[in-house]
């Protein structure tokens, strides 16, 4: 509709066409603005509808009134809705303040991390319940389980062990973290000092570092000879196969942290008084010796992952996801009673990495 075809009447908002239609006559339209919105309506024709200026004016006024009334009703509805929403927001705000306390004085990053940990812990609880069921099954069936936790320094082994055992019956599990061997132990069969800590029937033993020290740490720092390292690499697969053949449930977890993330964690240990005790002289060399550790890691994964005792590589840059995947791996190792099939036990393939995939990535990048 082209406004240039119409002319104004002496009433604001009422227009009439300049040219009359031979059959319908002239056309009246209403055109006005209300609350920044323009409204246009055809009111009728002089011949077809017997429309006079007075009738057209009345029609225009009715149209205007209907627009104003509808707008007011919508505003009232909106106002009512806004009031209800505002009250709801106030209630939510009060509830959050009651939980968070004087949150304005807390570093937002610290607050965010703390809240995220609550959600993470709640997610883990479902699987921690399953770990208790598995532990009960081991006891009732008199089975033995060994779990090895390996990985570079600051890869998250200790934190994973704490989450896995948090709610378990401490009468039926042990955590073993052996220090330097004594002179007597150095003259024994290499595996002897580890065998002394093996589980009895119904027990689980978690090794925070294991006999695989001889595959990575010892040769790099000169704690064993090349010959001793090679003998270990040749013997360990048969040693583990014998354990499995005798009924031992053996799970080998390798926590794989990136070089950048390891450095970030080291820096945090140095600067955080609560974590400073974790930092050691060996940690200071870990970044400088990254390539040497990578070479030994590659050789270890390639040569010591067997069908009876495979390595499970867990990418551990995200600690929570790494802990969750470690729990799944352990739970999938045994068909225990009472499993909650509503939970997902499927591996997250971005975190739970096959040995083949890890080796392939290590050939492409020095970050692993």
* pLDDT tens digit sequence for 269-280: 998 899 888 888
pLDDT band for 71, please (50, 70, 90 cuts): low
- Taking residues 244-256, what's their average pLDDT? 98
pLDDT band for 331, please (50, 70, 90 cuts): very high
DSSP assigned state of 180: S
Q: Which residues pair with 40 in a beta bridge?
A: 31
Q: Is the pLDDT confidence value at 75 over 70? A: no
| 34, 61, 77 - which closes a domain | 77
Structure tokens given for 202 = 């119904």
Long-range contacts for 161-165 (Cβ within 8 Å, ≥24 apart)? 161/206, 161/208, 163/124, 163/128, 163/323, 163/327, 164/128, 164/131, 164/206, 164/323, 164/326, 164/327, 164/330, 165/206
Q: What is the CATH classification number for the domain harbouring 16?
A: 3.30.160
Angle between helices 355-364 and 290-304 (to 10 degrees): 150
* Sign of the CA dihedral with 98 first, then 103, 108, and 112 last: negative
Q: Is residue 82 part of a domain?
A: no
pLDDT of residue 89: 85
| 77, 95, 118 - which closes a domain | 77
* Averaged pLDDT score across all residues of the chain: 92
Q: What is the CATH classification number for the domain harbouring 279?
A: 3.40.50.300
Share of the chain above pLDDT 90, in %: 71
The residue written with tokens 């812990």 in the block is: 121
- Taking residues 270-297, what's their average pLDDT? 90
pLDDT of residue 245: 97
Residues 312, 167 share a domain: yes
- Taking residues 156-174, what's their average pLDDT? 97
Q: What is the pTM of this model?
A: 0.75
| 69-73, 148-152, 308-312: least confidently modelled range | 69-73
Q: Is residue 87 part of a domain?
A: no
| 82-91, 270-279, 307-316, 348-357: least confidently modelled range | 82-91
Residues 164, 38 share a domain: no
Residues 284, 182 share a domain: yes
Residues 333, 204 share a domain: yes
pLDDT of residue 105: 85
Q: Is residue 101 part of a domain?
A: no
CA pair distance 190, 239, nearest whole angstrom? 11
Of residues 214, 210, 235, 213, the one with CA closest to residue 225 = 214
* Sign of the CA dihedral with 346 first, then 350, 352, and 353 last: positive
Q: Is residue 239 part of a domain?
A: yes
Q: Which residues pair with 296 in a beta bridge?
A: none
Q: Is residue 90 part of a domain?
A: no
The whole domain housing 264 covers 110-364
Residues 73, 150 share a domain: no
Q: How many structural domains are present in the chain? A: 2
């Amino acid at each position: 509709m082209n406004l240039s075809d119409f002319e104004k009447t002496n009433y604001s908002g009422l227009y009439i066409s300049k040219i009359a239609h031979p059959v319908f006559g002239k056309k009246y339209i209403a055109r006005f603005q209300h609350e920044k919105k323009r409204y246009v309506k055809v009111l009728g024709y002089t011949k077809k509808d017997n429309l006079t200026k007075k009738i057209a004016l009345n029609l225009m006024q009715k149209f205007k009134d209907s627009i104003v009334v509808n707008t007011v009703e919508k505003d009232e509805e909106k106002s009512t809705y806004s009031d209800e929403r505002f009250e709801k927001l106030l209630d939510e705000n009060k509830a959050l303040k009651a939980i968070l306390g004087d949150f304005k004085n807390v570093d937002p990053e610290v607050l965010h991390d703390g809240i995220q940990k609550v959600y993470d812990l709640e997610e883990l609880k479902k699987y921690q319940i399953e770990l208790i069921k598995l532990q009960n099954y081991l006891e009732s069936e008199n089975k033995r389980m060994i779990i090895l936790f390996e990985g570079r320094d600051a890869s998250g082994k200790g934190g994973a062990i704490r989450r896995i055992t948090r709610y378990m019956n401490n009468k039926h599990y042990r955590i073993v973290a052996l220090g330097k061997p004594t002179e007597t132990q150095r003259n024994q069969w290499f595996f002897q000092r580890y065998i002394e800590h093996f589980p009895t029937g119904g027990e689980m033993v978690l090794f925070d570092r294991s006999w695989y020290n001889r595959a990575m740490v010892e040769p790099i720092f000169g704690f064993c000879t090349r010959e001793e390292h090679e003998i270990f690499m040749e013997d360990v697969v048969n040693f583990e196969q014998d354990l499995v053949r005798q009924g031992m449930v053996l799970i080998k977890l390798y926590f794989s942290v990136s070089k950048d993330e390891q450095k970030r964690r080291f820096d945090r240990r140095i600067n955080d008084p609560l974590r400073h005790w974790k930092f050691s002289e060996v940690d200071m060399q870990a970044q400088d010796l990254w390539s040497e550790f990578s070479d030994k890691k590659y050789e270890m994964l390639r040569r010591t992952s067997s069908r009876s005792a495979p390595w499970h590589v867990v990418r551990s840059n995200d600690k929570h996801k790494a802990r969750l995947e470690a729990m799944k791996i352990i739970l999938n190792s045994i068909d225990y009673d009472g499993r909650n099939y509503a939970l997902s036990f499927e591996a997250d393939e971005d975190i739970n990495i096959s040995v083949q995939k890890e080796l392939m990535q290590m050939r492409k990048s020095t970050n692993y």
